[in-house]
């Protein structure tokens, strides 16, 4: 069962993932703090480079299956033109209404 993005509990996560699915770089950036960080499968990544490669230039799309921690942890089916579809886990830290940290990896 997929959870519609507009039904996700945390408004900052909701805005970030909606921007991801809309391929909207400006809205995605606006949903992040200026010093936001990211890790992928436990390795620190450059957020700008990673999102360009894994989301925007490869047409990333997320379908959330479950959420917990008030919407700040999700399990989702994620797909892009580079890797196809995979089951992924995402954890978000939120500060002042924007995402300050993304941790993602295969679930």
**Nearest 10 degrees: Cα torsion 7, 68, 53, 30:** 60
The helix/strand/coil state of 46 is: coil
Return the CATH number of the domain spanning residue range 5-106: 3.10.450.50
pTM for the model: 0.96
Q: Look at residue 10 and tell me whether its pLDDT is greater than 90.
A: yes
pLDDT tens-digit map of 21-67: 999 999 999 999 999 999 999 999 999 999 999 999 999 999 999 99
Structural domain boundaries in the chain: 5-106
Cα–Cα distance for residue pair 1/101, rounded to 1 Å: 26
Cα dist from 78 to 4, 33, 61, 95, 99, whole Å:
14, 23, 6, 24, 19
């Amino acid at each position: 069962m997929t959870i519609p993005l507009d039904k996700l509990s945390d408004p900052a996560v909701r805005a970030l993932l909606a921007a991801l699915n809309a391929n909207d770089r400006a809205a995605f950036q606006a949903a992040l703090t200026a010093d936001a960080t990211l890790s992928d499968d436990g390795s620190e990544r450059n957020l700008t480079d990673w999102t360009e490669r894994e989301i925007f230039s490869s047409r990333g799309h997320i379908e959330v299956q479950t959420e917990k921690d008030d919407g700040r942890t999700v399990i989702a089916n994620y797909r892009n033109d580079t890797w196809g579809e995979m089951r992924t886990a995402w954890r978000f830290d939120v500060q002042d209404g924007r995402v300050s940290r993304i941790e993602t990896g295969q679930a």
